[in-house]
Structure 1
Amino acid sequence: MLWSLGLRALFTMSKRLILFAASRDQARYFEALTQHVSLMGKQVLAVKSSQIPFAFQALFKVFLPLPLNVLEAIEHQVCILQNRKKASRKGRGKAQWFWSLFGFVETLRAKYLFGRYSLWIADNKDALIGVWNGKKFRQAILVIAAQQQKVPLVFFETGPLPGYSVVDPEGVDFYAATPRRIDFYKQYQCRLKPEEQLKFEPVKKSQDLPESYIFIPFQVVEDSNIYLHSPWIKDMRALYSEIEALAEKFSHQQFVIKPHPACPEDYTDIIDKHHPQIHFVLDKPTIELVQHAEAVITVNSTVGMEALIAHKKVIVMGQAIYGFEGLTQPVSKQSELIQALGELETWQLDESAVNNYLCYLQEDYAIPGDAMKGPTDEHWAVLSKKLQLCLDGQAYQSIGL
């Protein structure tokens, strides 16, 4: 981000809401949003990235100097893209010359996109700009361009609760504006009745699972939560190595790992190790593995949130919206991970604080309904109220702050 302070000051009255779509699914959702939300006469437009006008002026400027903060932000995004591609199965076999050329070409593309988006934003400075996620390459360049001109943004995403979505004035996942202080949630007054709070139906435990185990969900390697928000664990093989080290240290402990079903990586090599304490499970529901685990160790998966809903102890190895002291146990190196597991039995989960945290997310922060799976009338109604507050300069009030 080009700034970390003063974001609230950006949210003044906006005349329009413009939604930037970088994919077909995003365009479909944003088009539906324009038809379903009511914003007191404010204009709402959905714009595909391909509809932003081609700009010869931006093309000619790709070799001209940029402000240092912009250049650093662009180079950072190119580096992120390069590292993400390198970590993929296809990318691991590429020669160094390929990546040097890749970085050069993508830097030129990023500079052109920045110039193109900047010209478009300059013509729409009276608008609030909505973007999906904001961390993928084109969206991230748009965010840099908007921030450089101090145009307010809101970020859309599914989550952080299962079956919910969000619109946030700062970002999504680890970038979200949610407080990371446990005292905020200890003092929070939940207005939901117990029967209204999010919970899972009990799932029977399969007989072939260990009697007691720690559950570790693998994640998609190319997901932004790994390449952006995981300074320690760079891929799932690195995660497996840490679990191997734990197994050696805690010879009595059993570990259950489930690869992510959407990840194309082939983990046959580590599965075939047949470690006596590490069990790979491919055919059981994640919620079953969560409910019957002694605890969950995760980098920053959404499974960590599911574990909190199930009132499980969660050890967090990366940067996560739920990764802070008092709610979970954040760790950033092997010695801290070993210590956290060693203290697991004496760690008392503050269930009241966990309940309040989940209640805040459900009641004040998130929007009912998965934006990508047939949003309901309730979804559009809640979203309308939040977007109206954002357009009226009260973006933080829209998330209960």
Structure 2
Amino acid sequence: MSSVLLLAVNRHQETYFRKIAAAATSLNIRILHDNRLPLIFGSWKISDYERQVLEEIVQLRLDTLAQESPGYRLSYFRRKRLTLQYRLSVWWFYLRARSYFGQNCFDLVGLWSGMKWRQRIIRQLLLPAETRTLFFENGAFPDTTTVDPEGVNFGSSIPDDPVFFLSHKPLKKKELPHRLSVRKASHSRKTEGNQLLPAEFCFVPFQVDSDTQILEYSPDIQNMEQLYKLLCDTADLSDGRLPVFVVKEHPSSKNDYRHLHNRHPGVVFCNQEETQRLIETARCVVTINSSVGFEALLLNKPVITLGKSFYALDGLVTSVQSAADLVTACQNPQPADPSLRDAFLQYLYSEYYVHGCWRTASDEHTAAVVQRMERILKNA
């Protein structure tokens, strides 16, 4: 019987993983919460390579926090204090995890996302080459879950070749959803900045500055203020040839953008409007790599991307890197190729994503996850 470890870093993940384990009769699944890793047994020594990776992870944690701070920077003394704090917690976690994995072997290890610092330590330093991996994340469609052997988002196993989708025949076509999930604002100021929605506009969803989508997969735009500046530059460069850009702040963002409201006539904020209405009434959707871009594809709206994304395929979206390119793309937005769009969405909805929300995790959902695990282990 194959042995599986599912590592949780919060109680919601632990609850979900326990439901999966309860559904598995052909797998020996062990659930481990990171705060229940055993104390260290064995050597405290680390190699130069281990030290380098751990320091990179400390820096990533600092960069993530800076993305949520005023001016996208940490004060000198705060950075010094946090560097010591993060270094201690990173090294302590690593030594405990190294001790645990040194005494326990698994055929498959499942992690949530795989991009956060604890999961990154395990991915980069602790898993033998022969150990299979599995990564969980929210699915791009409503009520779906990502269960991927390689990663999530741009790092997933979703093919990046349009030919794959055009030549792939789904086992069974499913009707695609037409309503999007509604995200509630976690900060009251996200309901401020609701200017009058123009008759014609290009919709630009802000993203969470500290999210891995920005930190890892947005090489040209490091934060939402840089995105705002690009929109202003594009509006100025267009010399009135473009409709205004309508921005909606991400409901989970900790950053305060009120100083950007009403700064430029070509960029307005409409935070109280429903995302689906903004997509449906916009000329096009401009995004770095937000899930809103995928939702726009689902609603058959032209999409322009500025970063790396699993849906940024030739024929599906228009990818740009400069204000001049953005002017051209917004003047004449190109819709997705109908055949490619249908094939891409059908593959993801019918075969790639596991149906069902992980937070509720029905019996049907957990059975499908276990089946996915068994298939990955069988193909090892």
Bin of the TM-score, shorter chain as denominator length: 0.7 to 0.9
* Identical residues among aligned pairs (%): 27
Query: Is the contact made by 2:170 and 2:351 (CA closer than 8 Å) also made in structure 1?
Result: no
How far apart in 2 are the matches of 1:151 and 1:91? 42
**Residues 99-114 of structure 1 mapped to structure 2, 5 A cutoff:** 99-114=79-94
> Which residue of structure 1 lines up, in the alignment, with residue 33 of structure 2?
48
Paired residue secondary structure (2:7): strand
Q: Mean alpha-carbon deviation: is it higher for 325-334 or for 363-372?
A: 325-334
Name which of 34, 38, 45 aligns with 2:21: 34
Q: Does 1:65 align with 2:47?
A: yes
Q: Does 1:221 align with 2:209?
A: yes
Query: Is the contact made by 1:39 and 1:388 (CA closer than 8 Å) also made in structure 2?
Result: no
How far apart in 1 are the matches of 2:172 and 2:269? 38
Q: From the superposition, tell whether residues 146 and 91 of structure 1 become closer, same or farther in structure 2 (CA, over 3 Å).
A: farther
Query: Is the contact made by 2:67 and 2:73 (CA closer than 8 Å) also made in structure 1?
Result: no
How far apart in 2 are the matches of 1:331 and 1:147? 37
What is the one-letter code of the residue matched to 1:234?
A: Q
Post-superposition offset of 1:56? 4.8
| 1:363-397 Cα shifts (integer Å, max 9, x gaps) | 1110111212x122331232121111123235xxx
What is the one-letter code of the residue matched to 1:249?
A: L
Q: Does 1:378 align with 2:360?
A: no
Q: From the superposition, tell whether residues 265 and 329 of structure 1 become closer, same or farther in structure 2 (CA, over 3 Å).
A: same
Q: Does 1:170 align with 2:155?
A: no
Name which of 331, 334, 352 aligns with 1:365: 352
Cα RMSD (Å) of the superposition?
Answer: 2.4
In the alignment of these two chains, the number of paired residues is 364
**Residues 76-87 of structure 1 mapped to structure 2, 5 A cutoff:** 76-87=56-67
Q: Mean alpha-carbon deviation: is it higher for 300-309 or for 319-328?
A: 319-328
What is the one-letter code of the residue matched to 1:127?
A: D
> Which residue of structure 2 lines up, in the alignment, with residue 272 of structure 1?
262
Paired residue secondary structure (2:42): helix
**Residues 259-338 of structure 1 mapped to structure 2, 5 A cutoff:** 259-273=249-263, 275-338=264-327
TM-score of the superposed pair, with normalisation by structure 2? 0.88
Query: Is the contact made by 2:304 and 2:320 (CA closer than 8 Å) also made in structure 1?
Result: yes
> Which residue of structure 2 lines up, in the alignment, with residue 209 of structure 1?
197
Query: Is the contact made by 2:135 and 2:148 (CA closer than 8 Å) also made in structure 1?
Result: yes
Post-superposition offset of 1:199? 2.7
Q: Does 1:236 align with 2:221?
A: no
Paired residue secondary structure (1:167): strand
Query: Is the contact made by 1:217 and 1:298 (CA closer than 8 Å) also made in structure 2?
Result: yes
Name which of 332, 340, 346 aligns with 1:353: 340
Q: From the superposition, tell whether residues 211 and 246 of structure 1 become closer, same or farther in structure 2 (CA, over 3 Å).
A: same
Post-superposition offset of 1:278? 1.9
How far apart in 2 are the matches of 1:80 and 1:292? 38
What is the one-letter code of the residue matched to 1:216?
A: V
Post-superposition offset of 1:358? 0.8
Post-superposition offset of 1:32? 1.8
TM-score of the superposed pair, with normalisation by structure 1? 0.84
What is the one-letter code of the residue matched to 2:291?
A: T
Name which of 251, 256, 278 aligns with 2:246: 256
| 1:113-168 Cα shifts (integer Å, max 9, x gaps) | 33322221232323311111111111111222334554221101111222210111
How far apart in 1 are the matches of 2:355 and 2:283? 30
Structure 1: tracts of 5 or more residues without a match? 1-13, 202-206, 395-401
Post-superposition offset of 1:309? 0.3
Query: Is the contact made by 1:39 and 1:384 (CA closer than 8 Å) also made in structure 2?
Result: no
What is the one-letter code of the residue matched to 1:266?
A: D
Q: From the superposition, tell whether residues 39 and 302 of structure 1 become closer, same or farther in structure 2 (CA, over 3 Å).
A: farther
How far apart in 1 are the matches of 2:371 and 2:79? 46
Query: Is the contact made by 1:162 and 1:306 (CA closer than 8 Å) also made in structure 2?
Result: no
Post-superposition offset of 1:210? 2.1
Post-superposition offset of 1:209? 2.8
Paired residue secondary structure (1:364): helix
Q: From the superposition, tell whether residues 139 and 75 of structure 1 become closer, same or farther in structure 2 (CA, over 3 Å).
A: same
Q: Does 1:96 align with 2:76?
A: yes
> Which residue of structure 1 lines up, in the alignment, with residue 55 of structure 2?
75
